[in-house]
Chains A and B, each alone.
Chain A
Amino acid sequence: MAGSLTRGEPAAASGPRPVPAVLRTALYAAGVLAHRILLLAVLLAAVFAAVELLPGDAADATSERGESAADLAARRHLLGLDRPVAERFWDWMTGLPTGDLGTSARGEPVADLLAHPFPNTLLLGGLALLVTLVASVAFGCWAAARPGGPLDRGVSASATGILALPEFVVAVALVLVFALWTDWLPAVTLTDADGSPASWEMLVLPVLALAIPQIGWNTRIVRAALADEAKAPHIETAVLDGLPRHRVLTHHLLPGALPTIAAGIATSTGMLLGGAVVVETIFNYPGIGSVLAGAVADRDSPVIAGVVAVTGAVITGVLLLADLVRAWASGGRT
C-alpha cells in the first residue's frame, strides 16, 4: 500500500495523472461503441429477417410480367435468394468490414448506389442539425431570459405547436409559399453532373422542413434544462453576486444545462435522418431516402441493410459524441 502510494505521488506531481482520465474516457467510449456496434448488428439481422417476412421477394419484385416460373427460379438463383436467409446475412455481414455492401437486386453494387446519395443526406441532415442547434439554443435562452414573461410563454407555446407538425406538412407548406407563390426559392432539388445539388438555394427549403419540427422539440428541452439549472444554488449565488445576466447565462446556466441539451440534440439526429426519407421525396432531394423507399418495395435486403448500416453508423457516432460531451460536462462539475 505504502509502496504504491509513494510511487503514485511523483506521478501525480509531474503531470501524467490526467492519463488515467483520458484512458478512462477511451475505455468508456470503446465500451459504449462495442455495445452500439453489437446493437447495430442485431438491427441488421432484424432487417434481413423482416424483409424475409414481407410477401414476395426481390426476384418477384424485379421481374417483368410474363416471366415464367423457370425464369423466376433462374433469377432467384442468380440473386442467391434460394439460400437460407441466415447464410445470406452472414455473407453480407462478413463483407461489411471491407466496405463491401453487397449487390442490389438489379445487379448494381450497393456501395455505388449509396456513394452519391449518402453524402447528400449527411449534408442535408448535418445542416438541419446545425440550424436546429443554433435556433433552439437561441430560442431557449431567449425564453429563459425572462421566465414566465410574455416572450417565454409565446416561444414555449409555438415550440409545442411546431413540434407536433409532421415534416411533410411543413415541407408542402414551404414549397407552396416560397417556391410556387413567391418564386423566391427552387421547388425541388436538381442534381449536377457530380451528383450533388446544383445550387445552394436548393438546400434551403429541405433543411428548413427538416429542422423546424426539431427546433420545436429542442427549444422545449433547452428551456426546461435552463429552468432546472436556474434553481441550482450556485446560480443564485452568481445572480446575488450581481453578475450581468448574459454572463450568468453563458458561464453558469448553459454549461450546467449542456448535458441535457446534448442528449436532446443527439436524439434529434435519428429523427432528422428518419424525416429525411419524407422530406427528400417531397423535394426530390438526391439522398438515401428514395434509395430506401425503393429498396423496401423491391425487397432488396442488401440495399436496405446498406442504408441502415451507414445511417446506423452515423447515429452511433453522434450518440457517442453526445455521451462524451455529457461525461465531460458533468465530470468537470464534480
Chain B
Amino acid sequence: MNLNRRQVLWAGGGTGAALLLAACGGGDETSAKSPAKANEKPRPGGTLRVGALGRASAITRDPHGSQANESDYLIISLVHDTLTVPGTKPNTVPRLAASWQASDDLKTWRFTLAKGAKFHDGTPVTAADVVWSLKRLRNTPAGASRLPGIKAENIKAEGDDTVVLVSDYANAELPQLTRLTTFVLKKDTKDADLGKAPGTGPFKLDWFRSGNARLVRNDDWYGGDVYLDAIEVKIFESPQAMANALLAGQIDVASNVGAVAARTAEKRDDIQIVRRPNDMAMPVVMRTTDGPFADAKVREALRLAVDREAMVKQVLSGYGTVANDILGTGDPAYAKDIPQRKRDLAKAKQLLKEAGFDTSKTYKLLTTEDIAGLAESATLFASQVREAGVKVEVVKQESATFWDKTWLKGDLYTTYWGTNDSVVFFASKTMVSDSGQNEAGWKDKEFDAAYRKAMATKDAAARAKVLHELQQIEYDASGYLLWGMADGIDLAGAAVRDLPTLPGYGRVQLEQAWLAR
C-alpha cells in the first residue's frame, strides 16, 4: 500500500483522526506567537486565504471518496458536517449529532441530530439523510475500515432526528468512529452532483476549480457564530511553495507546512508559528512473533538504547515531544503516570547479553521517505543503538515497495500514524492479536483481555482504569518503540486569530477563526 502522509492522516478516519490536549492549552501549549491573544473580541468579516497540500492528479469531490489531498478534505469538511468532530477533552465532541446514548451492552448507539440543522438550500436535515449518507460511506471499498463493526443494514433512522447504529460487538468508543468521514449529504444525491451538493456546514461553496475553492459564510449555521465572510482554499503541491506564498503575503495560513518552514519563519516577527502537539507518530516496529527481536528483552534493550531528547531535537528540529512507547499520546486517558523511559546503555547491554542477542550481526532497519523526518529518524536511531552494541544498517525503500513488501512483515522498520488522540484506536487497529494491521505481529492474551474489557465497560472511570492496565502491558511488551511525537505546524500571518490547535485533521476546524484587521 502506497500511502503518503496525507492518506495516512486520512486513514485515521476509520476511528477518527487525531487530536489532543491542544485547545485547553491555548497560548501555553503553542508557541509564544500563538494566534490566540487574550482580551481580543472576535471581529466579523474578511476573507481568509488558506494554503493546503494536494496534488492535481488526486483531486476528488466525493466526501466519501478515497481522499489523498488535504486541500480536498479541508474544502469538504467546511461545506459538509460529520456527526461528531475531534475535540480536546473528551476527544469526541458533538457536531451534526448533538448527543448520543448507548445501550447497556454498548452495541446499540442512538445519535440525536442537532436542532435547526439544515442544508445550504434551506431544507432541514433528517435522520433519513444521515442514514443514506452513512450507508453510502459504509458501501465504499474502504467502508469496512471507516465504520468497523457496523454493517450497512444496521444503520437505521428512528423518527426524524435519531439515527441508530448497531455494532457487531460491544464498543464503548463507537462515537469516535463518526468523527472524520461521516459527511452528511441529502438523501439520494447523485454521484454526478457531488461537487455542488448542498452541505450543512459553516461555509457554502461559492466556486471550485482544479483543487482551489472559495467558500462563503453560512449565516444559518446551527453550530454558532462564524466570523469570516469567506475562506479561499489554495492547493499547493509542495510545502516549500506554500511557505513561500505565506512569506510573500499571498496567503494568510499555510496549513500543515512542517518544521522546515517553521525554522525559516522563526526569524520573521510578522509570521505566527502554530504548533499542534501530538500530530504524528513515527514509531520503530520490532517484530515480536519471530526473528531477532522476538525476545521481549531485546526490544526492551533497544527502547533503553535510544536517546529520545536527541531524536526530537535533531529529527524534528525541536518541534515535538518525547514519548514513552505508548501510542495514542493525545488521548485524555493516556497514562501520563507510567515512568518515562530514559536512555540506559548499561542496562541495555545487560539485557542483550541475557537474551543471547547476536551482536556480531548487522540488522536492517527498513524505512521510506514518505514523510519528512522519517528516514532521518531511522539513521539517527541506528547510530544511537550502535552505542549499545547493536549494528543497524538503514535501508531506504521506495514507498510502494515498502507498503507492499515490508509493512506488517519486516523484522525492523519505521511506520507512521496521524491519529494520535486515542489509545483505543491503536489497540484495536494494530495491537490486538487479530487486528488487521498488527504491524509487529504482536499476540498478547493479557492485552487482548484488557482491550475487550475496556470496550465492554460502560462506566467511564472504570474504563479509564482498564485502559491504564492496557497501556502498562503495551509499555512493557509491545513491538513498538515510540521515541517521540512530531508537532503539526501551521504558519499564519499576523492578523489571523483562533486557528485550531488540534493535531491531525482537527486543523480543518476553521469556523472559529477570524481576522484582526
Contact = CB atoms under 8 A, between A and B. Distances in A.
Interface string A52-78: 001110001111111110011011001
Interface in A57-108: 60-68, 71-72, 74-75, 78, 104, 106-108
B2 A117 contact: no
A15 to B, nearest CB: 53
Contacts of B399: 297
A294 B55 contact: yes
Given A66-B11, A106-B60, A281 B237 contact: yes
A108 B404 CA distance: 25
B4 interface: yes
B52 to A, nearest CB: 12
A61 B400 contact: yes
A71 B398 CA distance: 24
Interface string B40-83: 00000000000000011111111001101000000000000000
Interface stretch (B207-215, B340-348, B384-392): B207-215
A64 B13 contact: yes
Contact of B244 (A65, A187, A300): A187
A288 B398 CA distance: 24
B447 interface: no
B314 interface: no
Contact of B57 (A67, A188, A190, A292): A292
Nearest to B415: A65
Interface string A104-137: 1011100001001100000000000000000000
A87 to B, nearest CB: 22
B10 interface: yes
A117 B56 contact: yes
A68 B436 contact: yes
B245 A68 contact: no
A294 B244 CA distance: 21
Interface residues on B, range: 35 or more
Nearest to B234: A190
Contacts of B68: 62, 106, 298
A303 interface: yes
A107 B403 contact: no
B205 to A, nearest CB: 12
Contacts of A330: none
Nearest to B249: A183
B379 interface: no
B245 A65 contact: no
A106 B58 contact: yes
Nearest to B15: A66
B3 A180 contact: no
A72 B403 CA distance: 14
B57 A104 contact: yes
Interface in B432-472: 436-437
A195 interface: yes
Interface in B184-236: 207, 209-210, 212, 214, 234-236
A127 to B, nearest CB: 20
A2 B82 CA distance: 90
Contacts of A188: 236, 241-242, 244-245, 248, 250
B8 interface: yes
A193 B214 contact: yes
Given A188-B244, A291-B57, A78 B141 contact: yes
A299 B237 contact: no
A37 B405 CA distance: 39
A297 B58 CA distance: 10
Contact of A281 (B214, B241, B250): B241
B418 to A, nearest CB: 10
Contacts of B167: none
Contacts of B248: 179-180, 183, 186-188
B400 A64 contact: no
Given A190-B250, A195-B210, A281-B241, A71 B59 contact: no
B383 interface: no
Contacts of B207: 193
A190 B58 CA distance: 19
B509 interface: no
A217 interface: no
**Residue among A187, A188, A292 having the largest count of chain B Cβ atoms under 10 Å:** A188
A281 B239 CA distance: 10
A239 to B, nearest CB: 52
A277 to B, nearest CB: 11
B400 A66 contact: no
Given A290-B56, A297-B4, A116 B66 contact: no
A186 to B, nearest CB: 6
A298 B236 CA distance: 17
A323 to B, nearest CB: 33
Contact of A68 (B144, B210, B429): B144
Nearest to B59: A108
A300 B141 CA distance: 18
Contacts of B8: 65
A282 B241 contact: yes
A284 interface: yes
Contacts of B210: 116-117, 191, 195, 286
B57 A180 contact: no
Contacts of B405: 55
A293 interface: yes
Contacts of A241: none
A195 B130 CA distance: 33
A94 B241 CA distance: 39
Nearest to A66: B145
Contacts of A56: 1-2, 400-401, 403-404
Contact of B238 (A183, A194, A284): A284
A108 B69 CA distance: 14
A273 interface: no
A106 B237 contact: no
A284 B238 CA distance: 8
A139 interface: no
Contacts of A286: 56, 210, 212
B152 to A, nearest CB: 14
B142 A66 contact: yes
B238 A281 contact: yes
Given A71-B141, A188-B244, A106 B238 contact: no
Given A64-B3, A107-B60, A291-B56, A55 B145 contact: no
Given A67-B145, A113-B56, A286-B212, 7 more contacts: A55-B405, A56-B404, A106-B65, A107-B65, A190-B212, A284-B234, A284-B241
21 contacts: A60-B1, A63-B3, A64-B10, A64-B14, A65-B1, A65-B145, A67-B141, A106-B68, A107-B60, A108-B59, A113-B57, A187-B245, A190-B251, A191-B234, A195-B210, A281-B241, A290-B237, A292-B57, A293-B55, A294-B57, A298-B68
Please provide the 4 A-B residue pairs with the shortest distance between their CB atoms, ordered closest to farther: A294-B55, A56-B400, A294-B57, A66-B145
Interface of A: 54-56, 60-68, 71-72, 74-75, 78, 104, 106-108, 113, 116-117, 175, 179-180, 183, 186-188, 190-195, 280-284, 286, 288, 290-295, 297-300, 303
